[in-house]
């Protein structure tokens, strides 16, 4: 009789908890949203329920529910990690911290961040390497092509300043553009160092022939890649290239944008989230186009509306285009071509590769174009490219001067 009562009571609690959601797995994060109308930053607790991909928001200031539990398109477990920006009903919420110990323990290793860098000799293979990075289980959560000064290189490699190779290393790293990456993945710090392989390229070819240094490195100095060796190093190195606070301009490795005889390309969020970033950049490079500048952006509504202002009232898909470009990370590129000697030439030549704005039409008329291969709809058409020659430098300046 006693066992029967215990069993009955246990079953009652299970049924009760399942109905009330008490036993439901829920993750909690602290998020911030800048309210343009009030000109203040509002702080919330974001709760994410994995059973049906629903979210709710509670204001930290007063404990009131700001958004009742609801499903939000684009917000999935894959899109939630420390530092990410979520588009919740046109409000961009930036995740700043974990909301409880359970979430911290669940996410800290699975979504660990590390700093990765493509050294000058690897940059010409940018597209292939990005594709390798995604294929090896990493997510690119920030990216920037930049030119390090000698001072930047000395600061970055300061732990080696007493070594004999230090002057050579500094000269090499400041000789040409590098690509800085914030990478995320399970045990990312150790995993990334394992994937890039031993420092000595010959050793890498012998001991780890599939490592990135074995595939793309040249020698011990020009070994293609850098990877943080500890959580402390990762934080320090990420802060140099992706500062959380506004630094002095002298300390920032400068943009590589030239603003001359170039055109603008923006790889849309749906393509980035699908992991096709490297493939599209490879398509550009295989067609002899040069990536002279690159930067990943998390654009807010005001920035996107300003950028797409020329299409408002002209293109029926304008509102959808705005929603797509602010829905997640996008990647802006400055594109050049060695055969193009004018703005008009490069804009026209690049548009041919990109294809018609409607992917369905692109698949009929230009089946090998970027939009034919990677576009889905008029809104999710893979990439934005400059329409008019006179807008080429203006659009590049918007991303690499105004926003950056």
Domain that holds residue 198: 112-254
Whether residues 122 and 187 fall in one domain: yes
Residue 273's nearest CA partner among 79, 403, 132 is 79
Query: Do residues 351 and 276 share a domain?
Result: yes
Question: 157 and 90 in one domain?
Answer: no
* Continuous segment of H or E residues that includes residue 370: helix 370-374
**Contact (Cβ atoms closer than 8 angstroms) between residue 55 and residue 72:** yes
Number of domains in the chain: 3
Q: Is residue 178 part of a domain?
A: yes
Q: Are residues 197 and 304 in the same domain?
A: no
Summary mean pLDDT of the chain: 90
Tell me the pLDDT tens digit for each residue of 10-37: 444 333 333 444 557 899 999 998 887 8
pLDDT at residue 195 tops 50: yes
Indicate the pLDDT class of residue 39, thresholds 50, 70 and 90: confident
Pairing status of strand 40-49 against strand 54-59? antiparallel
Indicate whether 224 and 119 sit together in one domain.
Answer: yes
Assign 346 to helix, strand or coil. Answer: helix
| Cα–Cα dist 373/136, whole Å | 23
Residue 7 domain-assigned? no
Cβ within 8 Å of residue 2, ≥6 positions away: none
**One-character DSSP codes across 181-205:** EEEEETTHHHHHHHHH--SSHHHHH
71 and 137 in a single domain? The answer is no
**Residue 363: CATH number of its domain:** 3.30.70.141
Dihedral sign, CA of 33, 35, 38, 39?
A: positive
Last residue of a domain, one of 102, 129, 144: 102
Mean pLDDT of 292-299: 96
Which CATH number does the domain housing residue 57 bear?
2.30.29.170
Written as six digits, the tokens of 174 are 């400041």
Examine the fold and report which residue of 254, 284, 319 is the final residue of a domain before the chain moves on.
254
333 in any annotated domain: yes
- Cβ(126)–Cβ(165) under 8 Å? no
157, 169 contact by CB (below 8 A) = yes
Active site residues: 226
Whether residues 215 and 141 fall in one domain: yes
Residue 89's pLDDT is: 86
């Amino acid at each position: 009789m006693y066992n029967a009562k215990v069993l009955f009571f246990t079953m009652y609690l299970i049924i009760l908890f399942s109905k009330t959601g008490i036993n439901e797995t829920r993750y909690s994060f602290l998020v911030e949203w800048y309210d343009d109308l009030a000109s203040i930053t509002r702080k919330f607790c974001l709760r994410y329920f994995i059973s049906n991909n629903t979210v709710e928001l509670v204001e930290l200031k007063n404990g009131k529910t700001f958004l009742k539990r609801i499903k939000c398109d684009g917000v999935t477990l894959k899109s939630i990690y420390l530092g990410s920006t979520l588009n919740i009903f046109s409000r961009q919420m930036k995740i700043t911290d974990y909301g409880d110990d359970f979430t911290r323990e669940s996410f800290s290793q699975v979504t660990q961040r590390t700093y990765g860098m493509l050294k000058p000799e690897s940059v010409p293979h940018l597209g292939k390497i990005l594709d390798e990075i995604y294929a090896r289980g990493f997510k690119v959560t920030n990216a920037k092509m930049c030119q390090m000064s000698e001072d930047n290189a000395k600061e970055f490699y300061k732990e080696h300043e007493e070594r004999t190779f230090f002057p050579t290393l500094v000269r090499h790293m400041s000789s040409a553009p590098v690509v800085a990456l914030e990478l995320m993945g399970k045990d990312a710090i150790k995993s990334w160092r394992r994937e890039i392989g031993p420092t000595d390229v010959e050793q890498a070819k012998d001991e780890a022939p599939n490592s990135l240094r074995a595939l793309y490195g040249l020698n011990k100095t020009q070994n293609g890649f850098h990877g943080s060796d500890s959580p402390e190093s990762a934080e320090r190195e990420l802060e140099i290239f992706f500062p959380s606070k506004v630094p002095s301009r002298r300390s920032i490795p400068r943009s590589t944008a030239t603003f001359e005889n170039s055109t603008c390309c923006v790889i849309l969020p749906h393509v980035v989230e699908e992991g096709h970033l490297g493939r599209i950049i490879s398509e550009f490079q295989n067609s002899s186009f040069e990536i002279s500048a690159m930067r990943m952006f998390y654009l807010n509504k005001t920035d996107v509306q300003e950028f797409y202002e020329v299409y408002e009232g002209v293109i029926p898909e304008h509102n959808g285009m705005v929603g797509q470009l602010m829905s997640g990370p996008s990647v802006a590129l400055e594109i050049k071509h060695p055969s193009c000697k004018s703005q008009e030439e490069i804009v026209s030549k690049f548009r041919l590769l990109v294809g018609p704005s409607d992917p369905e039409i692109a698949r009929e008329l230009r089946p090998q174009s970027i939009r034919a291969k990677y576009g889905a709809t008029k809104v999710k058409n893979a990439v934005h490219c400059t329409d008019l020659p006179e807008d080429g430098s203006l659009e590049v300046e918007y991303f690499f001067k105004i926003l950056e």
